[in-house]
Chains A and B, each alone.
Chain A
Amino acid sequence: MTSRLMTPRGGGLLALAILIAATPLILPNAFYFDVAVRAGINAIVCVGLNLLIGYAGQISLGHAGFLGLGAYGSAVLTATYGWPPLLAMTLAAAVVGVLAFAVARPVLRLKGHYLAMATLGLGVIISIVVNNEAAITGGPDGMTVPPLDLAGWTIDSEAVWYWLVGLALWVAVWLALNIIHSPVGRALRSVHGSEVAAEVSGVDTARYKTLVFVISAVLASLAGSLSAHYGGFITPSDVSFFRSIELVTMVVLGGMASTFGAVVGAVILTILPQVLTWFADYEHMIFGLILMLTMIFMPKGLVPSLTVLFRIRLGARGGSAPT
């Protein structure tokens, strides 16, 4: 049992659980809980997005679209049609999953810039639809969303939300690690390494690319639903192109092909604008700058770079296990 906790996988999951459990002790008031909840929701999206970008090596500049569909799906079904939130979330995620599946084959056949453009286009289309279908979505004015309730228990305190999102994040990380530390995860990484070699090794690359695209889209949708019910109000800016870039920046900063890196990236870039209030006016610029600087000085991202540094310090050698 102790040996299992010493692995990057077991140790990381334990450390994450402790961090999630201990953070409330240092959060002085509801404002900080609010930031933590938003960070957690972003982290859930990034864990999924990192499977796609970091592990399988496929870029997506349209994931805010899936996030937005989850948010608006939940919002419309609960506010307009009176569905229970949990059911609305599930249906929205299922629809997003089917949509992602349908677009995956043609889109993921593209590579590099072309894939970036195609996914960007997908995100923009979703964003335009949300903006224009004002009768359903409220258009640019946005729409209010009823709070989450679980079997009659309405969740309205930041603290309860914190635990809920914390649990969801932990589960998302656990599921992502299960995939990574398996033949399926290896197949995903082989697609990144050399598609042609993966194919002749027996990996159906189209199938795996589709699979990871769907997984990341569904996770984004679920996180979008959560954020809609949590915030109580959504606008098309939640679905914007910039939101997609923000998510990619979080993954890149934290570290591609590092699940804990994705969490760290999401947390840092959610907290930063809150801490540095002057940031607000220049938010887009600062995110762009962070993305550029990371690519230039730390292309592997924070967590993998620090891990390497740590290993060198310890004088340890050996293969790098995916974290």
Chain B
Amino acid sequence: MSLLRVENLSKEFGGVHAVEDLSFGIKASTIHSIIGPNGAGKTTLFNLISGLYTPTSGRILLAEEDVVGLAPYALAARGLSRTFQNLQIFFNMTALENVMVGLHLHVDRRFWPTLLRLGGIARKEELARQRAAELMRFVGLASYLDADASSMPYGALKRLEIARALASKPKILLLDEPAAGLNAAETEAIDGLIRKTAETGVTVVLVEHDMRLVMGVSDQILVLDNGRKLGEGAAAEVRSNPAVIQAYLGAASLGGTDVAR
């Protein structure tokens, strides 16, 4: 049974088909990558799944429940979280507070007790602080516990987004190019973090251009081109799929080596 299932999903922007008649399933507790050339519709697909876009047609099922039309915060409550390709950090907060926002669904946020500071709000805040610090250590940001988000380097912010996303206790986590802009060592570390996250039982869906990372870490790979499914399968299958090779060879500069590597 698939934790996430997409059925005949299409999204049009003024006549342009960003995603067209796409169907696939993602099994629980796996690492699933989505690859494809720029403009293949990967990020659009993420935006559809996470509720930022409404599909033109088709269905999205999360744990067998149709979730099309639900707002992102409602999807978060159902166990879906994500990070962003171009960072979406709360730069008006500390790193720790960024992660604490991720805990929003799991903390006491009733209005009247908050207003009158009753019901142990202060004590619960301390617990939330500790939980957020734990998550920051989990993603390797122990040295930034006191930092303002605005003072952190790019690579650390990428991890901060992952920590914030994990704070909402997702069943399924969408990572949009977590290694983009990172050097080899940082990418290596992200690789480890993805595996570590998957080991905790979180289903990871990865959009990524770094083929070494994708081929190494993925249980299953979905290949998109022009909004359509080009191929699907385990790393070895995808690598030897003629259609996939054709698509990547077609993109001259990649020279096919990217896939073959």
Chain A residues with CB under 8 Å of chain B are 57, 175, 178-179, 181-184, 186-187, 189-190, 192-194, 196-205, 211, 257, 317-320
- Point out the residues of chain A lying under 8 angstroms from B247, CB to CB: none
Residues of B within 8 A of A198 (CB): 73, 90, 101
Can you name 12 extra interface pairs (CB under 8 A) apart from A181-B122, A198-B101? A182-B114, A183-B109, A186-B101, A192-B92, A193-B93, A197-B164, A199-B72, A200-B73, A200-B81, A201-B104, A201-B164, A319-B97
B92 CB contact (under 8 Å) in A196, A257, A318: A257
Nearest to B118 among chain A residues (CB) is A178
Given contacts A182-B121, A183-B109, A193-B90, contact A203 B148 (CB under 8 A): no
Q: Are A203 and B73 in contact (CB-based, < 8 A)? A: yes
Would you give the shortest CB distance from B84 to chain A, in whole angstroms?
7
Contact A193 B115 (CB under 8 A): no
In the assembled complex, the Cα of A85 lies from the Cα of B111 at a distance in Å of 28
Complex CA–CA separation, A202 to B91 (angstroms) = 18
Q: A175 with B88: in contact, given A201-B102, A202-B77 (CB under 8 Å)?
A: no
List the B side residues contacting A186 at CB < 8 Å. Answer: 93, 97, 100-101, 104
Q: What are 13 A-B contacts defined by CB distance under 8 Å?
A: A182-B117, A183-B125, A184-B114, A186-B93, A189-B97, A194-B89, A197-B164, A202-B77, A202-B104, A203-B73, A257-B92, A317-B146, A319-B94
Q: Number of residues in B with C-beta < 8 Å to the partner?
A: 48
Report which residue of B90, B111, B167 has the largest number of chain A beta carbons within 10 angstroms of its beta carbon.
B90
Of B50, B88, B89, B100, most A-chain CB atoms within 10 Å: B88
Contact of B180 with A by CB under 8 A = no
Task: Give the CA-CA distance A259 to B208 in the complex, in Å.
Answer: 43
Would you call B108 an interface residue if the criterion is a C-beta within 8 Å of the partner chain's C-beta atoms?
yes
B147 interface residue per 8 A CB criterion: yes
- Whole-angstrom CA separation of A202 from B77 in the bound complex: 6
Q: Is the CB of B111 within 8 A of A201?
A: no
> Is A179's CB under 8 angstroms from B115's CB?
yes
Q: Which residues of A contact B147 (CB under 8 A)?
A: 319
> Across the interface, do B111 and A183 meet the contact criterion of CB distance under 8 Å?
no
